[in-house]
Amino acid sequence: MLNKYARAFFTRVLTPFAAFLIRRGVSPDTVTLIGTAGVVAGALVFYPRGEFFWGTVVITLFVFSDLVDGNMARQLGRSSRWGAFLDSTLDRVADGAIFGGFALWYAGRGDDNVLCAVSIFCLASGQVVSYTKARGESIGLPVAVNGLVERAERLVISLVAAGFAGLHKFGVPGIQYLLPVALWIVAAGSLVTLIQRVVTVRRESEEAEAAAARQENQGSGAAT
């Protein structure tokens, strides 16, 4: 849902900014690299110190680069395999930094080993969820399932909760519990999504093998 509606909305909003960068001679790859660096810095500088509000502000400013670079590439007519590879690879780096930042907080001054483990699970499961789709497509399967919690949902749930949880330092009582709740939701949703994709890949691989076997039998029958 987020990929379908929110991405389309923000793409339209950011189109003039993308055009401005193109006129200034900035390349889409440069935007991708700067955006990832900003997300990583925001996550690993602020989150381990418990500065969730300001960390989320910084990350949010840079996370829109994921839409800007693609918009620039389309305006330039220069969409390429390299650009897609770089964008996808650096997305994983950014995601790892965000959940790694949460894990560092809970392993340190946050002092909660369970939530540290949940954060690490969110980090690992997010990477595996992405891998299952990429690997399935690489062996010729469509992997025709989106799943319950994809990257957009993981980021929105986690960053919104972290941003609000950070308001605890401004005197808002009880709001710090939003982040633990969000992490548990992301962990459970990622597990369900992983299962959905694995089941889908298994079904599609069995269907592909059955179709190949039927074609082979039909070819053998025609030859005789």
- Asked if 91 is an active-site residue, the reply is yes
Residue 95 annotated in ligand binding: no
Residue 29 annotated in ligand binding: yes
Handedness of CA 67, 2, 60, 131 (dihedral sign): negative
Alpha helices per DSSP H over 47-177: 52-63, 65-76, 81-107, 113-138, 151-165
Nearest Cα to Cα of residue 154 among 123, 133, 195: 123
Residue 112 annotated in ligand binding: no
Angle ∠(156,158,162) on CA atoms, nearest 5: 115
State the Cα–Cα distance between residues 144 and 136, nearest whole angstrom: 10
Residue 69 annotated in ligand binding: yes
Residue 201 annotated in ligand binding: no
Residue 30 annotated in ligand binding: yes
Residue 161: exposure state from Cβ atoms within 10 A (0-12, 13-18, ≥19): buried
In the numeric block, which tokens belong to residue 113? Answer: 């080993």
170: Cα separation from own chain's centroid: 29
Residue 118 annotated in ligand binding: no
Residue 80 annotated in ligand binding: yes
Q: How many residues appear in the chain?
A: 224
Q: Provide the 8-state DSSP code for 51.
A: -
Residue 126 annotated in ligand binding: no
State the Cα–Cα distance between residues 118 and 126, nearest whole angstrom: 12
In the numeric block, which tokens belong to residue 218? Answer: 């039909």
Residue 70 annotated in ligand binding: yes
State the Cα–Cα distance between residues 216 and 219, nearest whole angstrom: 5
Catalytic residue among 91, 95, 111, 112: 91
Please give the annotated binding residues, written as ranges.
Answer: 29-32, 66, 69-70, 74, 80, 87, 91
Please give the annotated binding residues for a CDP-1,2-diacyl-sn-glycerol, written as ranges.
Answer: 29-32, 70, 74, 80
Please give the annotated binding residues for Mg(2+), written as ranges.
Answer: 66, 69, 87, 91
Active site residues: 91
